[in-house]
Structure 1
Amino acid sequence: MTQQDFIDLYEKYISGNCTPDEIKQLEAYRDGFQLRDLPWSAEMGDKQEVKQEILSKLNTGITPPGKKTFKNYWIAAAAAIAIFTIGLVLMLEQKAQLSPDKLVKNPSSAGKGPVVPGFNKATLTLSDGSNIDLNDSKNGTLSKQGGVSVGKLGDGKLVYDINGAKTKKAAVLYNTITTPRGGQYQVVLSDGTKVWLNAASSLKFPAIFTGNERNVELSGEAYFEVAKNKDKPFKVAVNNMNIEVLGTHFNVNAYNDENAIKTTLLEGSVKLKTGNQQAYLKPGQQATLGQQQMFNIRPVNTEDAVAWKNGYFVFNNENIQSIMKKISRWYDVEVVYEGKVDERDFGGTASRFGSVTEVLKLLELTGTVHFKMEGRRITVMP
């Protein structure tokens, strides 16, 4: 049975029209599934661990609420593999061919031309107001500011190196790194803190941290691995909220077109503050700050929050509007709605480096939503 045969049969199954013989075909397909052996290199990590991770991801494939549930777990897993993660079965291959550090410049993704996945691109604005296009600039030293060397590496990374500069007497020179829609980038700050920026995001920070605090400002989404320094807390200002840490790993989602700011803690501890409200997070918790300016804290799967950094889309009980915002930012496309679209939630996982048309086709297989694509505009229909 081919993948397409299975897809057709699965659609028939969830509609309740499968014959007993066809259900037996689904059962037979179970024994035929295995991940292909693909070319492997050391930079891709431990082969067996990655395979197990992919299998785990595949088992969470998209499932529309209200549809028939499978009586056997293995059928659900097989359906997940065939329906929402056809492209993800090739993830091992994609890691070698389409990982962010291997994607080349593509001017067509900047609002014109064919729709392609996002890649490493950003603009660095220096303290004097000058801009450096990180996509066009060569690897190596880009600037020197107050004893700090700013260098671009070949894997979509910007590094600030103090090189023995005297931080206490250094002038405060603010820089800003900005990713466009369809872009992402990583920056290593002068204290060693690592920051990954998602699409349509920006981070303002000093070339050298002076004084008793390390202060930065975020717009959009970023994942932080903060260098530990008990004498100098690290603070992130985002909209009307502040995050304070000493050394920790956390993700912040604070896009202006979202209804809430979400802070997810993976390691260490953080203090959140807005107005007279404050909250503390433990690893494995997420704080949501909505329009009512009250913190709502709950346990979450932290892998979902940082899936974007690791090359995945993860939709966990999200409506189509939330899903399409992610797709719009990453593929740099316009999204419009036509008619009354189903408000139920979806769940699923897919590679961020696949074709947008494949992601849309897989969503359509739920039978609850349809798409029309014209140039860089996607119309969502019931």
Structure 2
Amino acid sequence: MNIDEQHFKRLLDAYLEGKASPAEKKLLDDFFDTYPQARQSFSADEAARIAIWQKLAAKLPEPATQNSRRMLSPATWYSIAAALALFVTVSYLLFFNSADGGQKPEPVVAQMRQVTTHRGQKMKVELLDGSRVTLNSNSSLEFPEQFTGNRREVYLEGEAYFEVAHDPTHPFIVHTRESNTTVLGTTFNIKLTAGQGTQVTLVEGKVDVATLPDKSTPAQHITLLPNQQALVRNGNDTIEVREVDISLFVEWKDNILRFENMRMDQVAAVLEDWYDVDITLEDAALANCTLNATYRKETLKNVLASLSYTLKVKYRQDGRKIVLLGSGCQAN
């Protein structure tokens, strides 16, 4: 569905009023049927389907009177989809409890969802428990449409900033390839980098960081406190902990780029993800140069101009391909 928010609202209203054309009705029915619970439970029950659409319609704003149009972003579509998934599950339980004279229905298996960002993208996701996640570029988050059981579990690749809704009876667990981070409700950042391991930076509250156990080695645990960072390295069954300036590791979510004594090859890698470009260092010695700078919502053009002035380098750009030119720096 590549339509704006008001169009979607009007389409839904027409459907509920019985005024939708056959093509419009099919469009919404196809969207509804992308959810297995909906397709299996309500495919033959029009009344239950309409009841769910009515609940969803109540969450959308009324059509605007102006000519302004706002396209539905991926995050907005996720919110609609998540709401639909919740209504389907709740309605399933209520409808079949009533229809079967109170008999307990078969448990509904939570369907997994995945959101993915590419280079140059960030995305905000709100989970159904109220937790909020900001996903950095080149990252993905897998999570159930609805948390079930006594734990809230998600799976991360890349980097994300978590604001977890407090729930002492349902721990929230973030799984990566190398560690498990468990919280009850707090704010923290997790970054998984190929070849470097998993980095957990705590903003507030407490978290438990654990290595992954294997047959011969039990999981190692540490409790992280605010302004501390844990690093679980590839193939290492120990956890390193250090005190850090947390702003260096979380300001990205506010579109702030901060480089503190960072090598240019690492700077280039960050800029590639941030602006969706490919950067080449013409002279390998440029990698030894270091950068100390902060950029707040700057354009790529302004960042490149700053690099030229600060490091005495030039650059050549052809679309998304950028070459940094200069004599470089000597290795320490």
What is the TM-score with the length of structure 2 in the denominator? 0.66
Separation in 2, partners of 1:183, 1:169: 37
Partner residue, 1:90: none
- Listed as ranges, the matches of 1:1-382 within 5 Å are 136=2, 138-139=4-5, 145=35, 146=37, 156-157=75-76, 158-159=78-79, 160-161=82-83, 162-163=86-87, 165=90, 169-256=107-194, 259-275=196-212, 276-291=219-234, 293=236, 294-339=238-283, 340-352=285-297, 354-367=298-311, 369-381=313-325, 382=328
Code of the residue aligned with 1:192 in structure 2: it is G
CA 1:137 to 1:227, structure 2 compared with 1: closer, same or farther past 3 Å? farther
- Structure 1 letter corresponding to 2:293: G
d(CA) in 1 for partners of 2:165, 2:307: 40
Structural RMSD (CA) = 2.9
Instruction: Return closer, same or farther for 1:266/1:201 CA change in 2, 3 Å cut-off.
Output: same
1:250 CA displacement? 0.6
| Structure 1 residues without counterparts, runs of 5 or longer | 1-131
Structure 1 residue matching 2:307: 3-state secondary structure:
helix
Distance 1:242 1:189, change over 3 A: same
Change (3 A) 1:278 1:180: same
Residue by residue over 1:45-94, the C-alpha shift from the partner in whole angstroms, topping out at 9 and shown as x without a partner, is: xxxxxxxxxxxxxxxxxxxxxxxxxxxxxxxxxxxxxxxxxxxxxxxxxx
Paired with 1:180 and 1:255, the residues of 2 have a C-alpha distance of 15
Q: Distance in 2 between matches of 1:323 and 1:248?
A: 30
Q: Does the CA-based 8 Å contact 1:170-1:208 persist in structure 2? A: no
Measured in 2, the distance between the counterparts of 1:342 and 1:173 equals: 45
What is the CA-CA distance between 1:154 and the residue it aligns to? Answer: 6.5
SS in 1 for 2:253: coil
Please state how far the C-alpha of 1:369 moved relative to its aligned partner: 4.3
Greater RCO (CA < 8 Å, at least 6 residues apart): 1
Query: Relative to 1, partners in 2 of residues 1:230 and 1:137: Cα closer, same or farther, differing over 3 Å?
Result: farther
State the alpha-carbon separation in 2 of the partners of residues 363 and 153 from structure 1. 36
1:154 and 1:176, CA in 2 relative to 1: closer, same or farther beyond 3 A?
Answer: closer
Question: 2 CA distance for matches of 1:291 and 1:217?
Answer: 17
Relative distance call for 1:281 and 1:197 in structure 2 (3 A) is same
SS in 2 for 1:363: helix
Query: Which is higher, the Rg of structure 1 or of structure 2?
Result: 2
Contact 1:170-1:210 within 8 A present in 2 as well: no
Partner secondary structure for residue 158 of structure 2? strand
AA aligned opposite 1:307 = E
Structure 1 pair 279–198 and aligned structure 2 pair: CA distance change class (3 A): same
SS at match of 2:247: helix
Q: What secondary structure does 1:204 align onto? A: strand
2:250 aligned partner, one-letter code: V
* Amino acid in structure 1 at the alignment position of 2:324: V
TM-score for both structures, normalised by structure 1: 0.58
Distance in 2 separating the partners of 1:171 and 1:155: 25
Matched AA of 1:172? A
> Judging changes above 3 Å, is the alpha-carbon distance between structure 1 residues 287 and 169 closer, same or farther for their aligned structure 2 residues?
same
Tell me the equivalent position of 1:61. none
Residues 342 and 369 in structure 1, CA contact (< 8 A), matched pair in contact too = no
In structure 2, the residue corresponding to 1:366 is in which secondary structure?
helix
Q: Which runs of 5+ in 2 are unaligned?
A: 10-27, 39-51, 61-70, 95-105, 213-218
SS at match of 1:365: helix
Alpha-carbon distance change, 287 to 185 in structure 1, aligned in 2, over 3 angstroms: same
**In structure 2, what residue type is equivalent to 1:267?**
E
Question: Residues 106-135 of structure 1, C-alpha deviation per residue, up to 9 Å, x if partnerless?
Answer: xxxxxxxxxxxxxxxxxxxxxxxxxx7xxx
Q: Determine helix, strand or coil for the equivalent of 2:122.
A: strand
Query: Relative to total residues, which structure has the larger helix share, 1 or 2?
Result: 2
